[in-house]
């Protein structure tokens, strides 16, 4: 009897998980489906779900009208650059917080995270002015710096959690073995934290890839990444849903594929330190 209850519950849980999963995935699925419709089918009422004449026309139009490759490259540069730069700064920061904590370490960590609670638009004006002054507007470099700063608290926080799991005695052993601080971080800490660093890298790459507020506000043509590529298809003259969907699908495809292959790492990264 007990077994039957457990089995029923299992089925129920699985069904619930699938329902929630599909609910979350539905907007993406709908976007992908719409990208294969004609503009007329895309706005048909009632909406057409699967049975329509599939077409690749939108993709070819989008490819003709915009330089997808350039947007893609900008996205890769900005997301990759900001993540790597962030890691270079965050590894020593998290090291010091995890292994040489002071009385204020916890406060500093919380304060860093609290900057994420600030509405981005609140600092848009000063940052915009700074960018004009420094000539960073519509440059990949400028955007890389901003996105790195935006995500830095999360990178530091995640790495801190990972580093805390590494026994301090191992680092002390390295010190006794004659390792300098640089050797200790390079040869002992970093290789031991590789899984943690990999998940941090992945998550931040995704966050930077999807970031739209700063990328839309601080770029025009040259440094615009894929978020701007999508936005360019929502024009004031009227919405072309099918083309917009095609552009969106093309923008999210790389990150979706990357996420699919690295989901194990990502889940580990997000739940790390939660169960202990």
Partner 1 sequence: MGRIQLKQVKKAFGDVVVIPPLDLEINDGEFVVFVGPSGCGKSTLLRLIAGLEDTTAGNIEIDGQDATGLPPAKRGLAMVFQSYALYPHMTVRKNIAFPMKMAKMPQEEQDKRIASAAAALNLTDYLDRRPGQLSGGQRQRVAIGRAIVRESAAFLFDEPLSNLDAALRVGMRMEISELHKKLDTTMIYVTHDQVEAMTMADKIVVLQAGVIEQVGSPLELYRAPRNKFVAGFIGSPKMNLLDGAEAAKHNAETIGIRPEHISMSKTEGTWQGTVGVAEHLGSDTFMHIHGIPGCDPLTVRAGGEVDVKHGDSVFLTPQPEQIHRFDKKGLRIA
List residues binding partner 1 (CB under 8 A): 167, 169-170, 172-180, 183, 187-188, 191-192, 194
Nearer to partner 1, 171 or 208 (CB): 171
Nearer to partner 1, 179 or 266 (CB): 179
Nearer to partner 1, 184 or 211 (CB): 184
Contact at 8 Å (CB) between 222 and 143?
no
Nearer to partner 1, 107 or 172 (CB): 172
Nearer to partner 1, 134 or 173 (CB): 173
**216-253 core/surface letters (b: 16 or more CB in 10 A; e: else):** ebbbeeebbbbbbbbbbbeeeeeebbbbbbbbbbbbbe
Find the shortest distance in angstroms from Cβ 178 to partner 1: 4
Find the shortest distance in angstroms from Cβ 200 to partner 1: 18
Find the shortest distance in angstroms from Cβ 157 to partner 1: 24
Find the shortest distance in angstroms from Cβ 172 to partner 1: 5
Find the shortest distance in angstroms from Cβ 196 to partner 1: 13
- For the chain, counts of helices (H) and of strands (E): 15, 2
Contact at 8 Å (CB) between 112 and 153?
yes
Q: SS3 for 238?
A: strand
Q: SS3 for 151?
A: helix
Find the shortest distance in angstroms from Cβ 168 to partner 1: 9
Tokens matching residue 97: 């917080």
218 backbone φψ class: left, alpha, beta (φ>0; ψ -120 to 50): alpha
Contact at 8 Å (CB) between 68 and 76?
no
Contact at 8 Å (CB) between 220 and 136?
no
Nearer to partner 1, 119 or 167 (CB): 167
Strand partners, 239: 234
In whole angstroms, give the CA distance from residue 162 to residue 142.
29
In whole angstroms, give the CA distance from residue 79 to residue 82.
5
Nearer to partner 1, 103 or 264 (CB): 103
Find the shortest distance in angstroms from Cβ 98 to partner 1: 16
């Amino acid at each position: 009897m007990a077994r039957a209850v457990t089995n029923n519950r299992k089925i129920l849980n699985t069904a619930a998980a699938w329902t929630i999963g599909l609910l979350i995935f539905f907007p993406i699925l709908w976007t992908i489906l719409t990208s294969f419709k004609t503009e007329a089918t895309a706005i048909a009422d009632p909406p057409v779900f699967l049975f329509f004449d599939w077409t690749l026309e939108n993709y070819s139009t989008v490819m003709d009208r915009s330089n997808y490759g350039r947007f893609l490259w900008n996205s890769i540069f900005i997301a990759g650059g900001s993540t790597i730069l962030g890691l270079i700064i965050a590894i020593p920061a998290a090291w010091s917080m995890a292994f040489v904590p002071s009385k204020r370490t916890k406060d500093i960590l919380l304060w860093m995270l609290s900057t994420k609670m600030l509405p981005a638009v609140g600092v848009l004006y000063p940052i915009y002015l700074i960018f004009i002054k420094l000539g960073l507007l519509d440059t990949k470099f400028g955007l890389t710096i901003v996105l790195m700063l935006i995500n830095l608290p999360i990178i530091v926080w995640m790495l801190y959690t990972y580093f805390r799991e590494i026994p301090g005695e191992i680092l002390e052993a390295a010190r006794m073995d004659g390792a300098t601080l640089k050797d200790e971080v390079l040869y002992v800490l970093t290789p031991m934290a590789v899984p943690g660093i990999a998940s941090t890298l992945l998550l931040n790459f995704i966050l930077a890839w999807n970031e739209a507020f700063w990328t839309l506000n601080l770029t025009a043509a040259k440094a615009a990444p894929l978020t701007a590529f999508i936005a360019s298809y929502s024009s004031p003259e009227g919405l072309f849903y099918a083309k917009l969907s095609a552009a969106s699908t093309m923008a999210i495809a790389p990150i979706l594929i990357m996420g699919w292959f690295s989901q194990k790492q990502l889940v580990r990264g997000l739940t790390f330190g939660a169960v202990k």
